[in-house]
Chain A
């Protein structure tokens, strides 16, 4: 039963909803988007708590769900879970008056796919549910979409998902420059029959399959839709994620996979295209800027500053879309132009001009300051005569006198810019530094770079390679020439990106990133063409091997098939290695789950199929990198498998026993930083330590020792 709803509208809706069905409507919120687009800000705070028009993002999402009549919300947190929990504990959503019950799940999932699989295992979902990201700003009405979904569902059990999409014109300011999702929809059934992410200059053609043309009377190719990831899912969706272990993201992975397997599974995904209301995702800084403007211009009503979503807010709307809270000190000669937001207790010095900007609480803005289009969060200090263009200045940052902050600059928490410094538009200045060996949420103070922040400042420029996104989208740049110039170089950047998709293991210590990040990069919607092919190959190869293993096919046939697939998709050896490792582990884990002891499962799977391993992992040469890689793949795959540690132990034992991996290989693997990058990885390999010690200690006698080492 829903607690007493706070708003009249909510009460009505949930009442109406209850008449239709017994189960409460559930929603899953992914507070972590598994991306790093908001670096450097997300180093210290979770994305969903970043302020949009001075209100944390998650508030918009929860408000939207409340309006949709949701009665149970399951919130998935990735990094900075403590902060999210802490915040929500004190928010209105956990009080008795909240319109829904809120459950926060701490998870170490590294993609939406992982979270979905986790959800399936936990069995928290009882019926259809709404699935959103924790950064959605929307006021669209969900009733029609839900009703359409239910009627479809009654008619056809195979209709497993409805995507809620907002129709937009050919142009809108939240439109992505680089990725253009294209939906091919049959208007009669609203079925999505094809999905593609187009990238300008990279995918010149949209390929529509023959069957689509043959089987449908008419289809629409829609490129004018805003996809903000609001999906109405059935529990079947979770089952699909579980069946397809390598699906990471809802579109590129799930949707693509379901459409591809339509012939076999007959599962359909539908769209609900609405032409009213507002919907957008704060995906990157570009959309952060666009959506902030939309909020201030009241497109998102009722999600506007003057609605005061937080209980302690007291914004009032004034002429020209200027929102001001109480206790603001404005010098007589200061000017506040249109479309600005000023938080409580902010003071603005004389002759300062503020336009199109959002300024948080308790900010101190000096005299003769010019601020245009900037986002200044709480407690920032801006010195006299500073000139700030379209930039983001985070909490407690301070900008010295006569500083010049150019458009596109990002200044993170607590950074201080010394007097008279010019910050260029491409800078991202932070004080935090990610701690690799530690848990990913912990940060340490980075070294200050006086060249960037001036003498006496604090902060350093974040390395670009830490951010795996296309620069173009990340930069907050309003300048068209700037945009163009950047997009020229975008090609080279993104090719670099797409190449390192699987190279994350092949180490180049400079670019190296922790395993979890690289997963996010595979999972991220931004995967390039090459990258897509790679994941396609991986998906296909791994699936076919697992199938064959299940059927107890002859190992020669499996190898032949794998080889054919490899040639067909022009895959690299490394990918094959990964596919083999993952497939074997999956098979073993499957056996273990069905009740077999890990030892037996390994014995049943690995030795008969050792040909697969020998073919892709060389042991003759004095070169062990392939072996190390294979072990790493195994290790990472086993992270979330039942009894993964045991399986790893026995698998390693067998590999050593059969001389598939040599002692040096084990040694290097053990010493490789990637195998101990996170706590989880360490936990998984803990049991194997003894084995490795023995192997390294005397690699001749390993056979005798293994069995005891258990």
Chain B
């Protein structure tokens, strides 16, 4: 059932299943549970990019993961009901030298990955959750690029790339102050002669001229003594530069084939987002930078490998030339300077033809007050929670579950689950008088009696004891949260006698109460624990010394 309205794009996808550094409460043991398999609204995280790609019509998918995570990933692909329900069979590639700490740019240079890329490709992170149909983004990438490397205006036009950026602000319930953001500067692309149809993403597509994470921006500002120093050549080339401070790179990139060679050439590219995109974007306007990055060789020397790139699109037809709706004047940005508007300095003209850098486009989702389709990366625990809850609540068509409360779940008497904003997985048992609001409960969880859960995410197989009160918590796989045994039984009997709430009040202090906590997988929270904003982890795991201490919210990012 691919919903692709376009012919199969002949693209290949790489899903990068890296370590979840900011999710280390749950991913400290990547050989057991890699980040890609963390449940987001009761589905493994990697299901979302797989599903997204599948609906885009891309079936040639490779999961790239460090060797130690390959095992669990493969077995999950074979057994997990959500993953097996997908009709795609992605391959798992575990390059030997891929470590948990390897940067994404370096990853592209690994020989295994280089061998694996055979044509235009799309890179997707495993934590990418997106309600925007991939076909719509892909459509923009395809229409804004020459179909084949056609020769128009005497010059070979190369395909450009496309990235996706989403707003991190202004989304109620999802945005938090701490959301990581990137600094992005873009320029508008030439308006089409025929206005884009309503609903097209064309309005949001712009060309990237600068791109860096906010941390790098802060460094630069510090370097410039409180000022961001923009080169004048940027303003010379582009009259209208829009800078966004609150958008984030979704990590999804549509790349033409030549990017493979580009990445391979430049040893210093550490990450795709910051380095590869950053330098590419800069090369578009900074004189001579393209040459320095070896783009001339990459773009021009590739002619011989062209057959390999796109075997069937060999007709040298420039489709834009055939169009009857083309704009008659040449596009302004490449126009040779007319006498009065010369922007060319008194430099000697370059001896060889100027290097045209293919544009790096980006679909930038506009921020709006009203609800917009979700595009997010789930790479922190708060994100994991809010996205899961958001999905449980809204159930967008492409990501909907068959049933919000799985038929195999058993609810005891007077157990209450608010239907509209909860998700309950298979074989979940909900105890007597338990109350679940705005929560996601994974498969095989056992919830005791009189438990109150608000805004919680429970992964598979959790056990929650009687009388536990939790709100805003994320509980790892097979963790136990013990309730007050005595109080619970007592309460149970009393409750059986229909005596109302009095006992609960008595034992209010002794109940297990967790607020805004993270509970590591397999961890046992002892009865009577009261905690707020903590990470509850075992001693044997990383960061164990911090048990019961404040959570490390600001994890070091690579």
- A contact set with B: CB distance below 8 Å: 168-173, 175, 177, 180, 182, 187, 198, 200-201, 203-210, 213-214, 216-225, 286, 290, 478-480, 483-485, 487-488
Bound Cα distance from A479 to B235, whole angstroms: 25
Instruction: Find out whether the CB atom of A221 lies under 8 angstroms from the CB atom of B240.
Output: yes
CB neighbours (8 Å) of B198 from chain A are: none
Lowest 9 A-B CB distances belong to which pairs?
A: A224-B239, A207-B227, A221-B241, A205-B229, A171-B341, A480-B339, A206-B230, A218-B244, A208-B228
Q: Which of A182, A200, A207 contacts B229 (CB 8 A)?
A: A207
Instruction: Find out whether the CB atom of A210 lies under 8 angstroms from the CB atom of B235.
Output: no
Instruction: Find out whether the CB atom of B236 lies under 8 angstroms from the CB atom of A206.
Output: no
B173 within 8 A of A: no
Known: A175-B341, A210-B221. A170 touches B245 (CB 8 A): no
CB neighbours (8 Å) of B345 from chain A are: 200-201, 487
Shortest CB-to-CB span from A178 to chain B, Å, is 12
Bound Cα distance from A206 to B230, whole angstroms: 5
Within B243-286, which residues are at the interface with A (CB < 8 Å)?
A: 243-247
B242 within 8 A of A: yes
CB neighbours (8 Å) of B239 from chain A are: 168-170, 222-225
B338 within 8 A of A: yes
CB neighbours (8 Å) of A198 from chain B are: 232, 235
Known: A205-B229, A206-B229. A170 touches B338 (CB 8 A): no
Instruction: Find out whether the CB atom of A290 lies under 8 angstroms from the CB atom of B340.
Output: yes
CB neighbours (8 Å) of A220 from chain B are: 240-243
Within B210-250, which residues are at the interface with A (CB < 8 Å)?
A: 217, 221, 224, 226-232, 234-247
B342 within 8 A of A: yes
CB neighbours (8 Å) of A218 from chain B are: 242-247
Instruction: Find out whether the CB atom of A180 lies under 8 angstroms from the CB atom of B342.
Output: no
Instruction: Find out whether the CB atom of B231 lies under 8 angstroms from the CB atom of A216.
Output: no
Find the A residue at minimum CB distance from B183.
A213
Find the B residue at minimum CB distance from A171.
B341
Find the A residue at minimum CB distance from B239.
A224
Bound Cα distance from A204 to B234, whole angstroms: 10
Within B357-385, which residues are at the interface with A (CB < 8 Å)?
A: 367
CB neighbours (8 Å) of B240 from chain A are: 220-224
B328 within 8 A of A: no
CB neighbours (8 Å) of A480 from chain B are: 337, 339, 342
Bound Cα distance from A218 to B335, whole angstroms: 29
Shortest CB-to-CB span from B135 to chain A, Å, is 28
Bound Cα distance from A210 to B244, whole angstroms: 13
Tell me what chain B mostly uses at the interface: helix, strand, loop, or mixed: mixed
Bound Cα distance from A682 to B333, whole angstroms: 56
Shortest CB-to-CB span from B285 to chain A, Å, is 12
Shortest CB-to-CB span from A483 to chain B, Å, is 6
Bound Cα distance from A482 to B378, whole angstroms: 59
Bound Cα distance from A556 to B341, whole angstroms: 54
CB neighbours (8 Å) of A209 from chain B are: 226-228
Instruction: Find out whether the CB atom of B228 lies under 8 angstroms from the CB atom of A180.
Output: no
Bound Cα distance from A168 to B239, whole angstroms: 9
Bound Cα distance from A221 to B209, whole angstroms: 12
Count chain A CB atoms within 10 A of each CB in B231, B237, B243 and give the residue with the most: B243
Bound Cα distance from A220 to B169, whole angstroms: 18
- 9 additional contacts (CB under 8 A) given A171-B338, A216-B245, A217-B245: A168-B239, A171-B343, A207-B228, A210-B226, A217-B169, A220-B240, A220-B243, A479-B339, A484-B346
Q: Which of A204, A219, A290 contacts B232 (CB 8 A)?
A: A204
B403 within 8 A of A: no
B332 within 8 A of A: yes
Find the A residue at minimum CB distance from B231.
A205
Shortest CB-to-CB span from B176 to chain A, Å, is 15
Shortest CB-to-CB span from A435 to chain B, Å, is 36
Interface size class on chain B is 35 or more
CB neighbours (8 Å) of A169 from chain B are: 239, 332
Tell me what chain A mostly uses at the interface: helix, strand, loop, or mixed: mixed
Bound Cα distance from A172 to B185, whole angstroms: 24
Shortest CB-to-CB span from A481 to chain B, Å, is 9
Shortest CB-to-CB span from B367 to chain A, Å, is 7
Shortest CB-to-CB span from A297 to chain B, Å, is 14
Within B120-169, which residues are at the interface with A (CB < 8 Å)?
A: 169
CB neighbours (8 Å) of B341 from chain A are: 171-173, 175
Known: A213-B245, A218-B243. A208 touches B332 (CB 8 A): no
CB neighbours (8 Å) of A479 from chain B are: 339
Known: A177-B342, A204-B231. A217 touches B244 (CB 8 A): yes
Within B178-194, which residues are at the interface with A (CB < 8 Å)?
A: 183, 185
22 A-B residue pairs with Cβ-Cβ distance under 8 Å, sorted by A, are A170-B239, A170-B332, A170-B343, A171-B343, A173-B340, A200-B345, A206-B229, A206-B235, A208-B227, A209-B226, A210-B221, A217-B367, A218-B243, A218-B245, A220-B241, A221-B185, A221-B235, A222-B241, A223-B236, A480-B342, A483-B339, A485-B346
Instruction: Find out whether the CB atom of A205 lies under 8 angstroms from the CB atom of B244.
Output: no
Bound Cα distance from A213 to B367, whole angstroms: 17
Within B478-531, which residues are at the interface with A (CB < 8 Å)?
A: none
CB neighbours (8 Å) of A175 from chain B are: 340-341
Instruction: Find out whether the CB atom of B342 lies under 8 angstroms from the CB atom of A205.
Output: no
CB neighbours (8 Å) of A206 from chain B are: 229-232, 234-235
Q: Which of A170, A205, A219, A478 contacts B243 (CB 8 A)?
A: A219
Bound Cα distance from A222 to B242, whole angstroms: 8
CB neighbours (8 Å) of B247 from chain A are: 218
CB neighbours (8 Å) of B246 from chain A are: 217-218
Instruction: Find out whether the CB atom of B230 lies under 8 angstroms from the CB atom of A221.
Output: yes
Instruction: Find out whether the CB atom of B232 lies under 8 angstroms from the CB atom of A221.
Output: no
Shortest CB-to-CB span from B193 to chain A, Å, is 15
Bound Cα distance from A395 to B441, whole angstroms: 90
CB neighbours (8 Å) of B226 from chain A are: 209-210
Known: A200-B232, A207-B227. A286 touches B243 (CB 8 A): no
Bound Cα distance from A217 to B338, whole angstroms: 37
Bound Cα distance from A169 to B191, whole angstroms: 12
Find the B residue at minimum CB distance from A481.
B339
Shortest CB-to-CB span from A176 to chain B, Å, is 10
Known: A172-B341, A222-B240. A208 touches B217 (CB 8 A): no
Shortest CB-to-CB span from B231 to chain A, Å, is 6
CB neighbours (8 Å) of B183 from chain A are: 213
Instruction: Find out whether the CB atom of A488 lies under 8 angstroms from the CB atom of B228.
Output: no
CB neighbours (8 Å) of B185 from chain A are: 221
Shortest CB-to-CB span from A112 to chain B, Å, is 26
Bound Cα distance from A365 to B236, whole angstroms: 43
Find the B residue at minimum CB distance from A207.
B227
CB neighbours (8 Å) of B230 from chain A are: 205-208, 221
Known: A170-B239, A219-B243, A224-B240. A207 touches B224 (CB 8 A): yes
Within B321-341, which residues are at the interface with A (CB < 8 Å)?
A: 332-333, 335, 337-341
Bound Cα distance from A220 to B245, whole angstroms: 11
Bound Cα distance from A222 to B188, whole angstroms: 12
CB neighbours (8 Å) of A207 from chain B are: 224, 227-230
Count chain B CB atoms within 10 A of each CB in A205, A209, A216, A479 and give the residue with the most: A205
Instruction: Find out whether the CB atom of A210 lies under 8 angstroms from the CB atom of B227.
Output: yes
Shortest CB-to-CB span from B181 to chain A, Å, is 10
Shortest CB-to-CB span from A335 to chain B, Å, is 25
**Please, what's the 1-or-0 string for B384-407, where 1 marks a CB less than 8 Å from any CB in chain A?**
000000000000000000000000
Bound Cα distance from A221 to B232, whole angstroms: 11
Find the A residue at minimum CB distance from B214.
A213
CB neighbours (8 Å) of B235 from chain A are: 180, 182, 198, 206, 221, 223
Instruction: Find out whether the CB atom of B340 lies under 8 angstroms from the CB atom of A286.
Output: yes
Shortest CB-to-CB span from A200 to chain B, Å, is 6
Instruction: Find out whether the CB atom of A170 lies under 8 angstroms from the CB atom of B229.
Output: no
Find the B residue at minimum CB distance from A203.
B232
CB neighbours (8 Å) of B245 from chain A are: 213-214, 216-219
Bound Cα distance from A213 to B220, whole angstroms: 12
Bound Cα distance from A173 to B241, whole angstroms: 21
Bound Cα distance from A337 to B244, whole angstroms: 50
Bound Cα distance from A182 to B333, whole angstroms: 18
Instruction: Find out whether the CB atom of A205 lies under 8 angstroms from the CB atom of B232.
Output: yes
